[in-house]
Structure 1
Amino acid sequence: MTEVVTYSRDGNIGVLTVRYPPVNALSHEVRSGLLEALEKGQADENAKALLLVCEGRTFIAGADIREFGKPMQPPSLPDVINAFENSSKPIVAAIHGTALGGGLELALGCDYRVAVSSAKVGLPEVKLGLLPGAGGTQRLPRLSGAQKALEMITSGEFVGASEALRFGIVDAVEEGNDILSVGKAYTEKAISEGWHLRRVRDLTDKLTAEHDSTVFDEFRASLQKKAPNLFSPFKCVDAVEAAFQLPFEAGLEKERELFMACMQSSQRAGLVHAFFAEREVSKVPGLAAETPVREINRVGIVGAGTMGGGIAMNFANVGIPVRLLEARQDALDRGLAVIRKNYENTAKKGRITAAQVEERMVLIEPTLNYDDFGDVDLVIEAVFEDMGIKRDIFARLDEVCKPGAILASNTSTLDIDAIASATRRPQDVVGMHFFSPANVMKLLENVRGEKTADDVKATVMAVAKRINKVGVLVGNGYGFVGNRMLHKRGAEAVALVNEGASPQQVDQVLTDFGFPMGQFAMSDLAGIDVGYRIRQERRKAGEDVPVSWLDKLAEQNRLGQKTGMGVYRYEAGSRAPIPDPQVDALIAEYRAEQDITPRAVSDQEILERCLYVMINEGARILEEGIAARSLDIDVIWIYGYGFPAYRGGPMFLADEIGLDAILATIKDFQQRFGASRWQPASLLEKLVAEGKRFSDL
């Protein structure tokens, strides 16, 4: 028997122990070991019941990602679960940590389940474009009922032990950290009380009680609103519905048929890429894994506006004290009031308690005095995009902060080296670009300057993980990665409108593609003045940035959602964009001024121009070393800009479309719209000539 799964007997309990760190994943060795240990338990005449338990910090947390994309070696997981379910002796699964995916499916193949109070269970396969393929869609609803099974399987979210108990997914929840002791006590109870075999497949109470097709119709309708472009969630609904319509074995066959349909979907490839890319970005090329990190126990933030307040919340959420600085008391009070309101809204939704609201507010200490930053380990500047103001702030921080304190800027576009030059410690200066709303968005684009020390780079990447962000380390240059590509797409979107498209047509094409909102609705959300200030800074720096109708909107104080009107207009209390004839008139006036005769623009042209301009710029970013890998760009766009994860990110999508096809279209655009604007990136041309992909770099 393999050493990753062992069998032993404790009194009259046969104990099957999985020890396959770090997460006891269902590798080939574990699957084989489980069957061998089960056979030993069945043959042990002195074992009255069997206990499945895992060593380490968790129960089985799913498939072994090292086997992804490889042929499955027997035994398959369904075969293992079938053997457990048909055991001649009752089996108790003792759950701690997380029982996820195939781990939960295996536990559902046992007769009874006991969990410690801190445990969580879930079926997250949908996040990889799949559905549970080892009976999860057939067994879970027999315990939880249709509604809860649909919620869990289509969202992939985990549920805690107490909720799992309430829905019958586990049979008991116990306190304690020693999972073996908890499992043994529960199994002894099962033996002493003569509990019988209880196969989940044979339970039908929930099936007959809820055999009503409306629950499935209503759930599909809700998915059409929440996830209209996704494939696998709808297949998940079909699979759960099969549990209510078909005998168990036929239901398993239907689940397998739907699972294979998901496997063959292009969305699965994109989601799997996004899954692995998110894990890979934390390993920074050229930065040794053993690079030391600096201690971050107290943080200072300059600016209590929307960004500064949101950044402060990230640290308070994980128990790190924050000093929040503003120039004026009224601005400080306003910022703290917004933070409190955000926390109280979260509490109203039941996500945190009223006590946690107060605990987090206590951690955010307001100040008007830079001298209060004397003992902080990290300062993040979060004021608006003005190089002069930022340099003044960093010069002041240089005076008051202790040696070794990291000085970070939340700038979204400006030169980190120019900011660092205002200090005597450029090695301690770095960019930490949060995304709005900073307390919600997962991306943290960390920007290395020319002189940023390696331990500073390692520290900000560690901080990202600590505050539950996806950190990506990129190089310094205008707009870094995300905004540099966004501004190219934005300029192309404006050009499309200039030529004859409407803002709503451009936005509709992008949302149909899978973005949560279009270019112009996003401008309204961020504030038209944000882009306007950036363009003004570039003009001050001597760049040739033409004035557009967007600039005219800013000058008319049409700043977006915050003023109730921007590219669109907004009803009071609503974020729904409404096309505005006044903007149409302004655009028509601009076209006349520029002597542009509007033409019909197809949706396909809009999509290609908006995507390919990003991909071409992404190639330049790779060429220049601003991003080390194409997957860094993909992660930035998925987590910072809402690029649909099921499409894998812009550079992954480019590989899927074919770089030769993209290059040919870009060359066509170059002839039609201008040599400089659509100059193909030399890296793109090189890869096409060599028959390679971005992922080959």
Structure 2
Amino acid sequence: MSDVVAYEKQGEIALVTIHNPPVNALGQAVRQGLLDGVLQAEADDEVKAIVILGEGRVFIAGADIKEFGKPPTEPFLPDLCGRIEASPKLVIASMHGASLGGGLEVALAAHYRVAVPGAKVGLPEVHLGLLPGAGGTQRMPRLTGVEAALDLITTGRHAGAAEALKIGLIDRIAEGSPRENGIAFAKELLGEGKARRAVSDLPPPAPIDWDAAYEAVLAKGRGQIAPAMCVRAVQASVELPFAEGMKRERDIFMELMQTDQRKGMIHAFFSERAVSNLPELKGVAPRDVSALGVIGGGTMGAGIATAALLAGLQVVMLEMSPEAADAAKGRISGNLQGALKRGKIDQAGFETLTEKALTLATDYAALSDVDLVIEAVFEEMSVKKQVFEKLDAVCKPGAILASNTSYLDVNEIAAATKRPADVIGLHFFSPAHVMKLLEVVVPDATAPDVVATGFALGKRLGKICVRAGVCDGFIGNRILATYRTAADHMVLDGASPYEIDKALTAFGFAMGPFAVADLAGLDIGWAVRKRKREEGIDPRARTTDYPDLICEEGWFGQKTGKGYYIYEAGKRAGIPNPKIMEWIEAERSAKGITPQDFTHEQIVRKYMAAMVNEAAKVVGEGIARRPLDVDMTLLFGYGFPRYWGGPLMWADIVGLPDLLADIERWAEEDPFFWEPAPLLKELVETGRSFDDLNKAA
């Protein structure tokens, strides 16, 4: 046997146990060990049943990521699963922890399955732009029926043991250890004279309207093709003999392996794990944080407090009046009610968080003992400075002072204190207890252990943390301002906001930029435009006037019922506001602009080129250390479609030379906005990609 798979006998039962920490990944040695264990059991006449189980925290959590991108090696997983299923001996999978991807496919190849109550199962391959390639789409429907199989396979979600039992994916839930459960179930099956039950021999389930299912899944995935192709693979399990269905599954799997979407999703998978792995923090211990202060109980502050409470922190919420503090508690309670309904906490937990872990205060002195405080007050530099001056006076030595600013200079904020080494930016995204992104903004004087603490806190809160340097808007909002400006330019030049939104949702964004502006609140952009006018706008910049007219009407988007769209009560989606096009056409006329037609492809190309060009400047200036930092920021904070991997991965896929050529052509008409990023030019000149920079970092 191999070093990662052990074999032993318990009477007439063979135990084949995987020990490949931390997650028993199905690397070549594990696959070989499983095959050897099955063959050894089959060669022993005393053995009547084989139990496959895993040591440690999980059964098998899927493929070995070390093998991603490398040529597959024997034994191949589909062949292994087929050989397990073909065994003349009874084969039982005893499952605990996670049984995911290939791990669940191994379990499906067994003749019976038993799981502990806390076990979870799933086929998450769609998150890599693929589908289950070792029989998952062929065996699961035979056990669960088409509807349940499509739900799990096309979403990649995990199902708990109770659900898995209900839909027929497992045969039993047992309270013991995987070893005890497997042996007991095997003895029971043998005692009852149960025969082998190969899933491939079970009859296929009833068919459905496959074309309708395909179109529905494609629409739900906003253009991601892997989930929709899962429908076709499951269709094969119903319409074809098992062997032919397996071949069809494999053909689709190999087709998906060659797609750009698969490249993008693999990039996203690895980048998500690499983004918070910073060489500068190696060996740097974070400061202890058990008590957190939050200043400002609006939507953002309440969301931050909610996330901290759910992470087990004590929270002091500071507001300026008892009434405002009560309102903040109401927002936090509302957020926690959502967690209660979803089963993340129970009623006792809800009461503990709202009545014991949360403290309301109206005096800065209440923050004297917190380990870290985050201000989430109005986005105005003078206000922020006043807050930090007060924090500097009341917070204990070593307490970290953090700003949730979206745009402002954190160096200037830090300079308002006598402890700039303890100041950091923690830019959350709203709603903060839901959105995954946290930009950790590092001013010049910040101590390394303060940076490490920012990342440690983000991880504890379940965030994807990205290191950002100080500039107007940091990584995400700086790039957002540029591609939103590109959209405004296209509106002046002939596209409507509604055509742009439609083109970009077709590209894969959850919402277009004008619908997003309505959701965020048009007053936010209005305030930014006013600030920038006070600071001075370069006379070479093209500006648009009509957005101010919208705000002057008091139309701030969804919260006022009108913005670019009109929102009827009870309806989330809006209809175009006819007044907007009147103002746009008037501005075009006043500026002597003859409108031109834009195709969806032209809209996407210009929007994305602006995004990539600014992102290249952000990386070139060191605001983002690596291209993948930009990609993860846009994926987790701005709704960028995951299957493209991020804007800079998209740029690599479509080709940097052609993209640069387009930017240089547009720069002939507008050299200020379309000035090519030096880094982009350098990469094209040297024949490198953005991903080459990731690998070199």
- When normalised by structure 1's length, the TM-score is 0.95
| Matching of residue 383 in structure 1 with residue 380 in structure 2 | no
| Matching of residue 610 in structure 1 with residue 607 in structure 2 | yes
The answer for the alignment partner of 1:581 in structure 2 is: 578
Q: Distance in 1 between matches of 2:79 and 2:495?
A: 56
Deviation at 1:688, TM superposition (A): 1.1
The answer for the alignment partner of 1:461 in structure 2 is: 455
Q: Distance in 1 between matches of 2:34 and 2:379?
A: 59
SS state at 2:31 partner: helix
**Which of 617, 620, 623 is residue 623 of structure 1 equivalent to?**
620
The answer for the alignment partner of 2:174 in structure 1 is: 174
Q: What is the one-letter code of the residue matched to 1:194?
A: G
Q: Distance in 2 between matches of 1:46 and 1:359?
A: 57
Q: Mark the CA change 1:182 to 1:456 in structure 2 (over 3 Å): closer, same or farther.
A: farther
Q: Which deviates more, 653-662 or 100-109?
A: 653-662
The answer for the alignment partner of 2:26 in structure 1 is: 26
The answer for the alignment partner of 1:35 in structure 2 is: 35
Deviation at 1:139, TM superposition (A): 0.8
Q: Distance in 2 between matches of 1:575 and 1:331?
A: 28
Kept in 2, the 8 Å contact 1:430–1:452? The answer is yes
Deviation at 1:361, TM superposition (A): 2.7
Deviation at 1:333, TM superposition (A): 2.4
The answer for the alignment partner of 2:299 in structure 1 is: 306
Q: What is the one-letter code of the residue matched to 2:458?
A: A
SS state at 2:313 partner: coil
The answer for the alignment partner of 2:82 in structure 1 is: 82
Backbone CA RMSD of aligned residues = 1.8
The answer for the alignment partner of 1:590 in structure 2 is: 587
| Matching of residue 213 in structure 1 with residue 208 in structure 2 | yes
Kept in 2, the 8 Å contact 1:27–1:63? The answer is yes
Kept in 1, the 8 Å contact 2:505–2:511? The answer is yes
Deviation at 1:598, TM superposition (A): 3.0
The answer for the alignment partner of 1:688 in structure 2 is: 684
Q: What is the one-letter code of the residue matched to 2:619?
A: L
| Matching of residue 286 in structure 1 with residue 280 in structure 2 | yes
The answer for the alignment partner of 1:222 in structure 2 is: 216
Structure 1 residue runs without a partner (length 5+):
none
Q: Equivalent residues in 2 for 1:72-471 (5 A)?
A: 72-176=72-176, 178-204=177-203, 207=204, 210-214=205-209, 216-288=210-282, 290-345=283-338, 347-348=340-341, 353-362=346-355, 363-471=357-465
Kept in 1, the 8 Å contact 2:408–2:472? The answer is yes
| Matching of residue 646 in structure 1 with residue 643 in structure 2 | yes
Q: Which deviates more, 325-334 or 437-446?
A: 325-334
SS state at 1:494 partner: helix
Q: Which deviates more, 76-85 or 352-361?
A: 352-361
Deviation at 1:379, TM superposition (A): 1.1
Q: Distance in 2 between matches of 1:595 and 1:396?
A: 52
**Which of 653, 657, 666 is residue 654 of structure 2 equivalent to?**
657
Deviation at 1:665, TM superposition (A): 0.7
Deviation at 1:232, TM superposition (A): 0.9
Kept in 2, the 8 Å contact 1:118–1:160? The answer is yes
Deviation at 1:457, TM superposition (A): 1.4
The answer for the alignment partner of 2:597 in structure 1 is: 600
Q: Which deviates more, 440-449 or 316-325?
A: 316-325
Q: How many pairs are equivalent?
A: 689
Deviation at 1:346, TM superposition (A): 5.2
Deviation at 1:387, TM superposition (A): 0.8
Deviation at 1:353, TM superposition (A): 4.7
Deviation at 1:370, TM superposition (A): 1.6
Q: Distance in 2 between matches of 1:442 and 1:61?
A: 23
Q: Distance in 2 between matches of 1:397 and 1:188?
A: 67
Q: Distance in 2 between matches of 1:360 and 1:249?
A: 54
SS state at 1:121 partner: strand
Q: Distance in 1 between matches of 2:219 and 2:598?
A: 28
Deviation at 1:354, TM superposition (A): 4.5
- When normalised by structure 2's length, the TM-score is 0.95
Deviation at 1:513, TM superposition (A): 1.1
Q: Mark the CA change 1:307 to 1:31 in structure 2 (over 3 Å): closer, same or farther.
A: same
Deviation at 1:348, TM superposition (A): 4.8
Structure 2 residue runs without a partner (length 5+):
none
Q: What is the one-letter code of the residue matched to 2:194?
A: W
SS state at 2:121 partner: strand
Deviation at 1:332, TM superposition (A): 2.5
Q: Distance in 1 between matches of 2:228 and 2:284?
A: 45
The answer for the alignment partner of 2:9 in structure 1 is: 9
Q: Distance in 2 between matches of 1:153 and 1:353?
A: 29
| Matching of residue 67 in structure 1 with residue 64 in structure 2 | no
Kept in 1, the 8 Å contact 2:402–2:425? The answer is yes
- How high is the sequence identity, in percent, across the aligned residues? 47
Kept in 1, the 8 Å contact 2:414–2:420? The answer is yes
Kept in 2, the 8 Å contact 1:274–1:645? The answer is yes
**Which digits, 9 at most, give the CA deviation of each residue in 1:480-529, with x for residues without a partner?**
11110000011111111122221111111211111111111111111111
Q: Equivalent residues in 2 for 1:540-579 (5 A)?
A: 540-544=534-538, 546=543, 548-579=545-576
Q: Distance in 2 between matches of 1:472 and 1:62?
A: 27
Kept in 2, the 8 Å contact 1:386–1:537? The answer is no
The answer for the alignment partner of 1:498 in structure 2 is: 492
SS state at 1:456 partner: helix
Q: Mark the CA change 1:464 to 1:79 in structure 2 (over 3 Å): closer, same or farther.
A: same
Q: Which deviates more, 443-452 or 459-468?
A: 459-468
Q: Distance in 1 between matches of 2:107 and 2:560?
A: 54
